[in-house]
Structure 1
Amino acid sequence: MKHGDVTVVVITYNDAERVSEAVASALAQGDAVGEVVVVDDASTDDTPRVLEQLAVADPRVRVVRRAGNSGGCGTPRNDGIAAARFPWLVFLDSDDVLAPKAVDALLTVALRHDADVAAGLCVRRELPGGREIPWQEQLFTTESVHDGVARRPETLWDTLSVNKIYRREFLLSRRIRFPDGAAHYEDFVFTARVYAACPRLAVTPETVYVWHVRYGTGQPSISLRRDRIQNWQDRVTAHRQVLEIMRDSGQRDLLVAAQTKFLEFDLAVYLSELPSRAPEYQDAWWRISREHVRAFEEEAVSRATPAARWRTAVLLGRERQTANLPRLAELAADPPRLPPPYAGDTREPLWDEVRTAPDGTAGIVLDGLADAPLAQLPFYVTAHVRAGRRPMLELRLPELYGRTAHAGPGSAIVELRHRVTDAVHRYEGAWGTLPGGESLRAVVTVDAAALCAHDTITTWDAWVTLAFRDGETVTRPLRAGSGLGRSVRLGRRGRLLLLQPYATHSGCLALRVAAGAAGVRTVVAGRLARHKGR
């Protein structure tokens, strides 16, 4: 690496409170960063003054101010590409930050492998809580290099532009740009153009980008506006462009892989929330989705996991009103869950009791269920909370068309994982068959006092590992059943202990624990404040 190899392009609009932190994270990367080009998309707040101060404080900061707002993120990024003076490019949004030593990690692996593009791990940091969730972690387990992505089609799951470093000449020579104007999901299209150009791609497992996800803000990011049907229409429009890019490139495998990814990921994200939407939204979403998916290659569906194939079959084979949206949302969870009732039989498992629909179409068969690997089966474990000084979790595991009994789960290992730290508490129980043989039952006892931190509130997510007779294990988040709600009890040495099991947004079980009088008062005060604010 030479001094000043990299231009970091920061885009901003009306973000005076946060742009300084983003720029600081870029400048802190060290000597490899020759300049930080900040493109201001015609901000009307205090952003221009803040940027002027940043430029005075460090000569590496250059400000490009647009005369008019572009309406999106693509145009200011294109301005940054045009303004850059150094051979390598990194993109950064003003409400995010680069991880420490991110540029060194990306540039080092790019130079080592003579790559056109290098990618690293991005983490989603949920604010204000601080929990970090890796983005597409399975793609960044080890350092690797690839001539194009056709032989590694799972790369298409990484649709971000900001967790990468680009050889500027590669982008310029292939005329690769972001969509201009008010196009949303511009990352999808730009990244598809990059992949379709067959870059030499290097991968590092190092964390390079911190994507701040802010909940409860007045202006949520585009990815959090899923309650608006226009958001889904924009996403589908962007995906259509992705498919056109792959089709024009002549790389059919990438075209099919992009369609399969849509069935596996994009559909599932929105389906999991669909039951909570208004009927008008549901109808529009169903219509847009069917129209888009009907044009997919059959091979794209056959390559998908069993749960994705079944979701697709329901979408194409049922009207929205008869699709059983709550059950479909469970099947779209990550990992997927298939709750009872189980229609048909082991030889022909069916989605529902409809063997012939009113329009003459056949019933929806859950194809591949009998042969699917255990890890792909939508096992469904529900935890019912039983009160007591030492709370118990009563687990129920339904019999899934004979696959559960055949696999023979012998033990249930429950893990309570701290929401922010790496702390884990484990409890074990044995499975027994309930009368009728339709489900299995196991009971574990939780030491609630062990989950406490002094005078603070801790949150724990509940997971269960099924250990089968052949030695294989499958880990799933526990689904929340009955027994939810706050309870106050005495913990160790007579200290107050407040325990609140609750269902997360995705229907999984989590436990919130407050210890000591101060912790309990914090919870009660928060509840009263929310009540007064209504």
Structure 2
Amino acid sequence: MTTGPGPRPDRPDVSVVVPVHNTMPYLTRCLSSLVEQTLGRRRTQVIVVDDGSTDGSTEEIERFAAQHPGLFTTVRQPNSGGPAAPCNRGLGLAAGRYVFFLGADDHLAPVALERMVTMADNCRSDVLLCKMVPIGERTVPTGVFSRTAPVIRLVGDGLPWALSNTKLFRRSLIEEHGIRYDESMPAFSDQPFVLEACVRAARISVLADEPYYFAVRRTDSSNITFRAGPATRLSCTERLFEATCRFLAPGPLRDAFHKRHFHVELFQLFGADFAALPPQEREAVCTGAARLIGAYGDGVLERIDPRRRRTLELAWRGDVAALCAEIAADPARTPRPPTVGRFPAVRRLMAAMLD
């Protein structure tokens, strides 16, 4: 079901796509920040895609749409299991010159959209990053936001560490190349989308003079990336490596993005929750990680920091006992909430790995 203001008398500057699944009470602050944007309602289209929420998010979306007619286009659909499908649905409804993706847990500074659109127009940007800051225990990239820059490189200015979709994209670039989210990826689906957009962009810019995007980690860590189980994360990490090989030729550019995936997604498979897995599942995760290390680690593994390299080398050797001891001795590894029993997709993935 889709509701909205109907045809607009003029073309909005930016369409903001907000995928939502059970994000109360954070959703209220998110939507309020869009109402407060200095860009103005005639220049803004907000598309809120409710992906089968059951926690009151649906009613909150309806309340905002009723209070602010003409600003919100709302869609409700059955739960798809991840953010890719609602993002694609929002893209299909977008009418703006630019499109921006906002996490339903997160919120924007009031001037964010206006400043981003102004800079993108002035710099002829195809992709524009705005400075992010963390709320709670969320982590965000820092290097890429060290300065405002009209143009940055694919590698050398921190972009490989900033692959979330929380960016302003020129919509004509997205449509010209048919760039869409992979709906078979329940986690990390934004990264191949962003990678392709950045590879195809003529100019990538950064707006970093002040914080514009406030990234929130929920107190219960129920954001989709945090709640995904190890089988899901392993499967989707493999898809990330496949994407870099699809869009980048062998060489330093591809290696820089592979380094990121070793440093972040692959290493995070071996957090405190790894030692708590049943023995068969630990073996399956090690086997899967070893396959990726063998396929993509040449020339990359030795370039990551010693702590992470030691963990991945143990996984590559399949030394589960030493790996568990390594994790237990590292106070920096934070437990994740238990997930395997709660999410059917995770159970199916884990079962496939163990076959």
- TM bucket normalised to smaller: 0.7 to 0.9
Per-residue deviation at 1:194?
A: 1.7
Going from structure 1 to structure 2, the CA distance change for 1:309 and 1:53 (only over 3 Å counts) comes to: closer
Going from structure 1 to structure 2, the CA distance change for 1:297 and 1:195 (only over 3 Å counts) comes to: farther
Q: Secondary structure at the match of 1:156?
A: helix
User: Is the CA contact 2:127–2:198 (under 8 Å) kept in the aligned structure 1?
Assistant: no
Which of residues 30, 33, 50 is equivalent to 1:25?
33
State the 4+ residue runs in structure 1 displaced beyond 6 angstroms: none
Partner residue, 2:159: 155
User: Is the CA contact 2:133–2:214 (under 8 Å) kept in the aligned structure 1?
Assistant: yes
Task: Out of 266-275 and 167-176, give the one that drifted further.
Answer: 266-275
Q: How does 1:353-372 map to 2 (within 5 A)?
A: none
Q: How does 1:104-503 map to 2 (within 5 A)?
A: 104-126=114-136, 135-146=140-151, 148-152=153-157, 154-162=158-166, 164-180=167-183, 183-205=186-208, 206-216=210-220, 220-225=222-227, 228-246=229-247, 249-250=248-249, 252-273=251-272, 274-316=274-316, 318-321=317-320, 323-327=322-326
Going from structure 1 to structure 2, the CA distance change for 1:200 and 1:67 (only over 3 Å counts) comes to: same
User: Is the CA contact 2:26–2:104 (under 8 Å) kept in the aligned structure 1?
Assistant: yes
User: Is the CA contact 2:141–2:161 (under 8 Å) kept in the aligned structure 1?
Assistant: yes
Per-residue deviation at 1:98?
A: 1.7
Per-residue deviation at 1:296?
A: 1.2
Q: CA offsets per residue over residues 459-503 of structure 1, 9 Å max, x none?
A: xxxxxxxxxxxxxxxxxxxxxxxxxxxxxxxxxxxxxxxxxxxxx
User: C-alpha root-mean-square deviation of aligned residues, in Å?
Assistant: 3.0
Per-residue deviation at 1:42?
A: 4.0
Higher strand share: 1
User: Is the CA contact 1:188–1:238 (under 8 Å) kept in the aligned structure 2?
Assistant: no
Going from structure 1 to structure 2, the CA distance change for 1:239 and 1:145 (only over 3 Å counts) comes to: same
Q: CA offsets per residue over residues 138-172 of structure 1, 9 Å max, x none?
A: 221101233651454x411112102x111111111
Partner residue, 2:104: 94
User: Is the CA contact 2:120–2:205 (under 8 Å) kept in the aligned structure 1?
Assistant: yes
Per-residue deviation at 1:103?
A: 1.6
Q: Name the CA distance, whole Å, in 2 between partners of 1:327 and 1:11.
A: 38
Percent of pairs identical after alignment?
A: 21
Q: Secondary structure at the match of 1:165?
A: strand
Q: Secondary structure at the match of 1:233?
A: helix
Partner residue, 2:60: 50
Given the two structures, how large is their TM-score scaled by the length of structure 2?
0.79
Given the two structures, how large is their TM-score scaled by the length of structure 1?
0.54
User: Is the CA contact 1:71–1:181 (under 8 Å) kept in the aligned structure 2?
Assistant: no
Higher helix share: 2
Per-residue deviation at 1:14?
A: 4.0
Which of residues 14, 17, 20 is equivalent to 1:9?
17
Relative contact order higher in (CA < 8 Å, ≥ 6 apart): 2
1:103 correspondence with 2:113 = yes
Q: Name the CA distance, whole Å, in 2 between partners of 1:190 and 1:329.
A: 36
User: Is the CA contact 1:75–1:181 (under 8 Å) kept in the aligned structure 2?
Assistant: no
Which of residues 62, 67, 84 is equivalent to 1:74?
84
The total of aligned residue pairs comes to 322
Q: Name the CA distance, whole Å, in 2 between partners of 1:187 and 1:72.
A: 11
Q: Name the CA distance, whole Å, in 2 between partners of 1:330 and 1:108.
A: 49
User: Is the CA contact 1:115–1:202 (under 8 Å) kept in the aligned structure 2?
Assistant: yes
Q: CA offsets per residue over residues 296-346 of structure 1, 9 Å max, x none?
A: 152223433444444443333x33245353336657x77xxxxxxxxxxxx
Higher Cα radius of gyration? 1
Q: Secondary structure at the match of 2:233?
A: helix
Q: Secondary structure at the match of 2:128?
A: strand
Q: Name the CA distance, whole Å, in 1 between partners of 2:105 and 2:334.
A: 25
Going from structure 1 to structure 2, the CA distance change for 1:202 and 1:315 (only over 3 Å counts) comes to: same
Task: Out of 38-47 and 50-59, give the one that drifted further.
Answer: 38-47
Q: Name the CA distance, whole Å, in 2 between partners of 1:34 and 1:67.
A: 23
Q: CA offsets per residue over residues 341-393 of structure 1, 9 Å max, x none?
A: xxxxxxxxxxxxxxxxxxxxxxxxxxxxxxxxxxxxxxxxxxxxxxxxxxxxx
Unaligned 5+ segments in structure 2 are 1-9, 336-355
Q: CA offsets per residue over residues 99-156 of structure 1, 9 Å max, x none?
A: 3322233223322321101102223312xxxx6x65111221101233651454x411
Unaligned 5+ segments in structure 1 are 335-503, 507-534
